[in-house]
Structure 1
Amino acid sequence: MEPKQVEEVNNSLSNDDLLPVPKEERTWKTQNFASMWMGVINNIPTYAAIGGLVVLGFSPLQVIGIVLLASLILYGALALNGHAGSKYGIPFPVLARTSFGVLGANVPALLRGIVAIVWLGIQAYSGSAAFNIAFTLLWPGWAKLGGDWSFIGINLPGLLSFLIFWGIHFLILKRGMESLKKFQAYAGPIVYIVLIGILWWAIDSSRGLKVIFSQPGKYETFGSALFPFIAAVAGIIGIWSTLILNIPDFTRFARSQKDQIKGQLYGLPVTFTIFTFVTVTATAASTIVFGKPIGDIIVLLQQFDRPIVIAIAAIILAVATITVNVIANLVSPAYDLANLFPKYITFKRGFYLTMLAALFTVPWKLIENAETIFTMLNLIGGALGPIAGVMIADYYIIRKRKLSVADIYTLNGEYRYYKGYNYRAFAATLVSGVIALIGAFVPSLKALYEISWFLGVTISFVSYIGLMRIHPPVVSKDLVDRREVEIMDELEEVAE
């Protein structure tokens, strides 16, 4: 169905940014999806997460195995949930209407949006710290600006660095998704300059890869390593699980289904494994050179004696962090806000509102009480895994990959359920979310929390299918009659 036809169905549920992307505007090729993931993965927080596994006691080879398995599982989930976006040209909050209801979809979209906005602010502040270091190295007087002046707990150099870093995000999305496509085509690959330099240093300073990869971890037997290994895989998946939900926001621009599937394959498992190889090599080498593993790339860079090199590397890594921030934390809430108030908010307006909201989270204060804020975000984020399970079950098992696009944009169609809400989706999400997250509150069940993503997706997938089979939605007579007419029209077209 063409976008114009959809708009005529019910414009209270649509605007130009929520309607299916026309075929001629679906221009993202394999290399665009590959470079997107190159930009998403190659950044400061990911380096810290991978380096942290070495610090926790996993051997370099074990870490590579953890990330390879996690990236393959992630790729499978992303390709599955991205299929509908590519086939029908619709974003995540619109796709969620088919399972949660045309009005109920606002709930998972709002949850995803809240998590993204808070993380947008935190990531922007983290990236600005690299800017601050670079500015200080290039101009030592930078650190003395403002003297003892501070604003809500941040000094003038830190605030200026944050505002500059925050402001760059506006340049990337000034022309919507097309400008993002162009930016990531350059930002993703350029980070490899820093990675190649770090890899060369690691191999040279530790006298070869053999010495690095011969370092043992603390988990020496299969039995002792098994559950920590699975928990680590779940943890890595958890970092990117939010993107599983809103991957249709990007695949809707795919030139073909093959482009999004191949592009994500090259960009995720392949790039992530290469990135991990460099990261664990550098972290393991730091143990040999400095006597302890350094899992933070900024801290590692500060060990060198070349300010200019450190400054350039920090700026490049900070720019890469902008890429992941835009893709993971900015695009989704912009669409989510547009879905919530389609009459008044377009994608661009949603983008501006998201940026403003992230600014007012005052992220440097949030990080002061990091344990509380991260616990809250992890709990909300833990609910997003079950949502993905429901959406995948609905699309592949219940719908058999066949959606009525017109009904997605009307209050009286197939996806109305009961007053716009599908209780089955909410029940499956709630039950699986409770089981997956209960370990965060009950110490004896902590093991469940450590594999919460696997539990959440699996239980919600199975329970949603069960509820839809046991108590299927009531289909109105008007809808049945319309379906019969559509089937007859299709048969006539085939006959002709």
Structure 2
Amino acid sequence: MKKNESEIGESSLINHDLAPTTEEQRTWKTANFVSMWMGALNNIPTYITIGGLIVLGFSPLQVIGIVLVASLILYAALTLNGHTGSKFGIPFPIIARTSYGIRGANIPALLRGFVAIMWLGIQAYAGSTALRMAIASLWPAWNNLGGDITILGIDLPGLLSFLIFWSLHLLVLKSGMESLKKVQKWTGPIVAVVIIGMFIWALKIAGGMGNIFSLDGKYDTFGKAFFPFLAAVTGVIGYWSTLILNVPDFTRFARSQKDQIKGQLIGLPVIFTIFAFATVTIVGATAVAYHTPIADPIATMKHFNSPFLIAVSALLLSSATVTVNVIANMVSPSYDLANLFPKYIDFKRGFYLTAFLALFTFPWEIMENSETIFTMLNLIGGFLGPVAGVMIAYYFIINKREVNMKDLYSYQGQYMYFKGYNYRAFLATVVGAIIALIGQFVPAMKGVYEVSWFVGVILAFFIYIALMRIHPPVPVTKQELIVEEPL
């Protein structure tokens, strides 16, 4: 049974944003989850990630296969972890208390928040490059502002474009999750129009789809392609690994479990694969027409003949980047920061703090090439995969899809474990992450590193279950309770 804030009682562990959602707040239907994924998938960084696979030597058909496999795995992970949010109406950092402990939950929440803030900066910079090109197409002098002056490693037009684009994010959540639901209804379809236009243009410059899909990749046999294929799947999953953890932040507003399951089915495997097909067609066409694949849509748009068309396309494409940034990289850190200091930080304050911290990620240094991006994706997957494995193991295996709602907000309940921390969850997470990432530093283990997300999830899942069985937590009635709450 769901409990609202008044039923749970007063505690320093709760505020109005961390309390379970009420029936009145549960307004997200299937179409809203589809719209969420349309806005999240149709954007510049996703395009670059998919296009980067062509640059790395995969054929167009292989890239579509990579995205299809990755999206099916993502769908399974997202719906499993989203089940708790939909059933009990609670966000990710509160759910993490069940497996990591009342105080221990802050550690995976902050880890997830840090990664999301990094991605927020990366996505904001990617969107700002589109904004810069749109402005320069109509006002060429924009690119010459400041001359040779560079600030923090970026020229003045680039920095100004980044700051302007960053400021747009502050408008999307001004009224909370309801305003996001309204915005995402139009950003996804608008970008779909741009992608369709680029798709038609691609067919024209390449002389038809046959020329594009006849392109060969360097992995021309099953033996050559198998491990690179798995590594690429891991990279795509790593891109969305943050959202796997915090999908309850959205499913807690679902009208029913069916709405989130059905909405994500349409929104992920279906729309993601369609987007991948359009993207590889466009990137493949640039390989045919210009003898080298262009993975960056901004660079591709420079080949359009009309400055006005370039400006409009770039502006529309960048608009969706704001939406995906808010969905994937601003909502969760806002809740994570609120969970750290519930008395002082609510969702809105966490949102503004998240935006402020993203200014100091210096994303232009990160996004220099596709190889750097994929290295970062694998690192992210290696760290966050074990957290997902632990949470899924606790909810589905250990506690059989039940949660003690009152104890989630109490220093005197079953989720205190030992002084607020469950060592079993942390040991499973650390072991899973170390083994998943060891290949980054030990050449002989490179193959493990290339599938880091899978290794981390599976190891943490089984290690956590084993530790909970071998050394189960002491029942709350027998342990010494810590009743003093922090000031």
Do both share a fold (TM > 0.5)? yes
Aligned residue in 2 for 1:190? 190
One-letter amino acid of the structure 2 residue matched with residue 143 of structure 1 = N
The worse-fitting range, judged by mean Cα deviation, of 236-245 and 156-165 is 156-165
TM alignment of 1:401-440, pairs within 5 A? 401-440=401-440
Cα shift readout 1:75-124 (whole Å, capped 9, x = no counterpart): 00000000000000000000000000011000000101111112212221
Structure 1 contact 115–381 (Cα < 8 Å) conserved: no
User: Is 1:322 matched up with 2:322?
Assistant: yes
Cα shift readout 1:443-492 (whole Å, capped 9, x = no counterpart): 1111100000000000111111111111111103379xxxxxxxxxxxxx
One-letter amino acid of the structure 1 residue matched with residue 314 of structure 2 = A
TM alignment of 1:46-445, pairs within 5 A? 46-364=46-364, 379=379, 381-445=381-445
The worse-fitting range, judged by mean Cα deviation, of 239-248 and 136-145 is 136-145
Runs of 4+ in 1 over 4 A off after TM superposition: 365-378
C-alpha deviation, 1:313, in angstroms? 0.9
Cα shift readout 1:272-304 (whole Å, capped 9, x = no counterpart): 000000011111111111111111111111122
Mapped to 2, the partners of 1:50 and 1:301 lie a distance apart of 17
Structure 1 contact 202–286 (Cα < 8 Å) conserved: yes
C-alpha deviation, 1:176, in angstroms? 0.7
Aligned residues: 478
- Normalising to structure 1: TM-score of the pair? 0.93
Aligned residue in 2 for 1:3? 4
- Percent identity between the aligned chains? 65
- Normalising to structure 2: TM-score of the pair? 0.94
C-alpha deviation, 1:420, in angstroms? 0.7
Mapped to 2, the partners of 1:157 and 1:98 lie a distance apart of 47
Cα shift readout 1:313-343 (whole Å, capped 9, x = no counterpart): 1111111111111111111110000000000
Structure 1 contact 111–380 (Cα < 8 Å) conserved: no
Mapped to 2, the partners of 1:233 and 1:154 lie a distance apart of 32
The worse-fitting range, judged by mean Cα deviation, of 426-435 and 196-205 is 196-205
From the superposition, tell whether residues 377 and 222 of structure 1 become closer, same or farther in structure 2 (CA, over 3 Å). closer
From the superposition, tell whether residues 369 and 273 of structure 1 become closer, same or farther in structure 2 (CA, over 3 Å). closer
From the superposition, tell whether residues 119 and 157 of structure 1 become closer, same or farther in structure 2 (CA, over 3 Å). same
* Secondary structure of the structure 1 residue equivalent to 2:293: coil
C-alpha deviation, 1:365, in angstroms? 5.4
C-alpha deviation, 1:307, in angstroms? 1.1
From the superposition, tell whether residues 376 and 232 of structure 1 become closer, same or farther in structure 2 (CA, over 3 Å). closer
One-letter amino acid of the structure 2 residue matched with residue 406 of structure 1 = K
Mapped to 2, the partners of 1:219 and 1:409 lie a distance apart of 53
Mapped to 1, the partners of 2:176 and 2:6 lie a distance apart of 24
One-letter amino acid of the structure 1 residue matched with residue 3 of structure 2 = E
One-letter amino acid of the structure 1 residue matched with residue 394 of structure 2 = D
Aligned residue in 2 for 1:489? none
Aligned residue in 1 for 2:41? 41
Structure 2 contact 381–453 (Cα < 8 Å) conserved: no
Structure 1 contact 7–14 (Cα < 8 Å) conserved: no
C-alpha deviation, 1:367, in angstroms? 5.5
C-alpha deviation, 1:141, in angstroms? 2.1
Mapped to 2, the partners of 1:154 and 1:404 lie a distance apart of 51
* Secondary structure of the structure 2 residue equivalent to 1:96: helix
Structure 2 contact 378–453 (Cα < 8 Å) conserved: no
C-alpha deviation, 1:193, in angstroms? 0.8
Structure 2 contact 238–380 (Cα < 8 Å) conserved: no
Cα shift readout 1:23-65 (whole Å, capped 9, x = no counterpart): 1111011111111111111111111111111122211111111
Mapped to 2, the partners of 1:235 and 1:370 lie a distance apart of 11
From the superposition, tell whether residues 108 and 78 of structure 1 become closer, same or farther in structure 2 (CA, over 3 Å). same
Mapped to 2, the partners of 1:95 and 1:165 lie a distance apart of 33
C-alpha deviation, 1:134, in angstroms? 0.7
From the superposition, tell whether residues 372 and 190 of structure 1 become closer, same or farther in structure 2 (CA, over 3 Å). closer
From the superposition, tell whether residues 377 and 113 of structure 1 become closer, same or farther in structure 2 (CA, over 3 Å). farther
One-letter amino acid of the structure 2 residue matched with residue 4 of structure 1 = E
* Secondary structure of the structure 2 residue equivalent to 1:120: helix
One-letter amino acid of the structure 2 residue matched with residue 157 of structure 1 = P
C-alpha deviation, 1:153, in angstroms? 3.4
The worse-fitting range, judged by mean Cα deviation, of 362-371 and 233-242 is 362-371
From the superposition, tell whether residues 393 and 379 of structure 1 become closer, same or farther in structure 2 (CA, over 3 Å). same
Mapped to 1, the partners of 2:431 and 2:389 lie a distance apart of 12
C-alpha deviation, 1:346, in angstroms? 0.3
Mapped to 1, the partners of 2:145 and 2:294 lie a distance apart of 30
C-alpha deviation, 1:161, in angstroms? 1.2
From the superposition, tell whether residues 87 and 312 of structure 1 become closer, same or farther in structure 2 (CA, over 3 Å). same
C-alpha deviation, 1:376, in angstroms? 7.1
Mapped to 2, the partners of 1:271 and 1:450 lie a distance apart of 26
One-letter amino acid of the structure 1 residue matched with residue 325 of structure 2 = N
